[in-house]
Structure 1
């Protein structure tokens, strides 16, 4: 079972040549409106004053999670991602504490759009997760309600968006669970699918099958 540890947030990544060059350049962004909150999240001295080291730490976080511009500025988008991560961590090993996801359907994949979390449960028993996801952006919202997986394609290619969608499990008119290469925390979101980290999508593939229930509820921040 994957628990809260699955939501651990890496603050450094392997960078390409261009990104690495940007990461080592002078960081000159000024103090942002969320400076103190961002500093606290990153474990830095929360004095609300931007320093060169603060700027580099914020920019590293932005680079890791696909937040643009990655300038080291503590703005609302960066803080929004951090707030979301905090809520995900707080879910711990009881993501369905509110009982919002049905417990009378047997094996079911739950998707909480508000917290951008998903997990698999069997009745009241947590079987996998919770894991972070990225749902549809504004105008391409992931549709809510009770659904069923109707088609699985392990190495799917989207003819519409011209991208690979590994471990695709479709549950609603073209919307599917599938893995992505980038960060699931990078805003604004997908075109309706439930994006997952590769390991999480692979685990979902091994635990779900055609006909299994999927329940989507809540509302993604910013939609």
Structure 2
């Protein structure tokens, strides 16, 4: 004969508490899910949609893009062309990354070409002062920065990403006035490692993404991690910064 186990009031109470706890946990997880930024979901959906298609359309900058990528320059879109263009777009944060040789894609490539042309003489035009000793130069037009001491190049040039349209990096003679190696922006809720501020909240700092990704920063001079670390080691409060030119598209 089977004997039914006796259920005590304490056991019943524990089971009720356990069920209630699970229900509370379920509600909490649901609320956490709702707090995930909508932009994350939209971005993921867009990326997935873009990654599932590759355009067959020939873009207006097809030949220039083909040449940049080392592809046969025939001005006609092919499957291989599209895959190469898409890989470039993905690595540089260009959306939609569907392999179309449009103005944004060519704009990034053209900028990279101009940066390469600067070689080891970024100040050949003499627009950054050579009479101030150590100085960090920022050329907004070519999206380049370097450190020089007098006329001697000390580091760079390196690619940077300055402020987008409406949030332009301000030009002129500046000085570094504050440094914070692990800065957190309360305004934009993002990390700003190796921050060196030179103009009312605008600073050199590293980013995790591509420094060529459009449309630009909110005014800071974004840098690759290694470059920002080098700037951190070479500069100090009171050092000069010269910003000049104009970012393309602003």
TM-score by length of 2: 0.80
Does 2:127 align with 1:100? yes
Task: Please list, as runs of the form range in 1=range in 2, the aligned pairs for 1:1-223 lying within 5 A after superposition.
Answer: 25-223=52-250
Q: Deviations over 1:4-49 (max 9, x none)?
A: xxxxxxxxxxxxx999977874523410000000000000001000
TM-score by length of 1: 0.90
Tell me, which stretches of 5 or more residues in structure 2 are unaligned? Answer: 1-43
**Counterpart Cα distance in 1 of 2:234 and 2:189:** 27
**Would you say the 8 A contact 1:29–1:71 is kept in 2?**
no
**Would you say the 8 A contact 1:39–1:54 is kept in 2?**
yes
Tell me, which stretches of 5 or more residues in structure 1 are unaligned? Answer: 1-16
**Would you say the 8 A contact 1:23–1:59 is kept in 2?**
no
Shift of residue 101 of structure 1?
0.1
Q: Which has the larger radius of gyration?
A: 2
Query: Could you say which structure has the higher helix fraction?
Result: 2
Higher relative contact order (CA 8 A, sep 6+): 1
**Would you say the 8 A contact 2:50–2:96 is kept in 1?**
no
**Counterpart Cα distance in 1 of 2:206 and 2:56:** 33
**Counterpart Cα distance in 1 of 2:47 and 2:104:** 22
**Counterpart Cα distance in 1 of 2:55 and 2:61:** 16
**Counterpart Cα distance in 2 of 1:100 and 1:137:** 22
Q: Alpha carbon RMSD of aligned pairs, Å?
A: 1.6
**Counterpart Cα distance in 1 of 2:65 and 2:206:** 28
Q: Size of the alignment, in residue pairs? A: 207
Shift of residue 113 of structure 1?
0.1
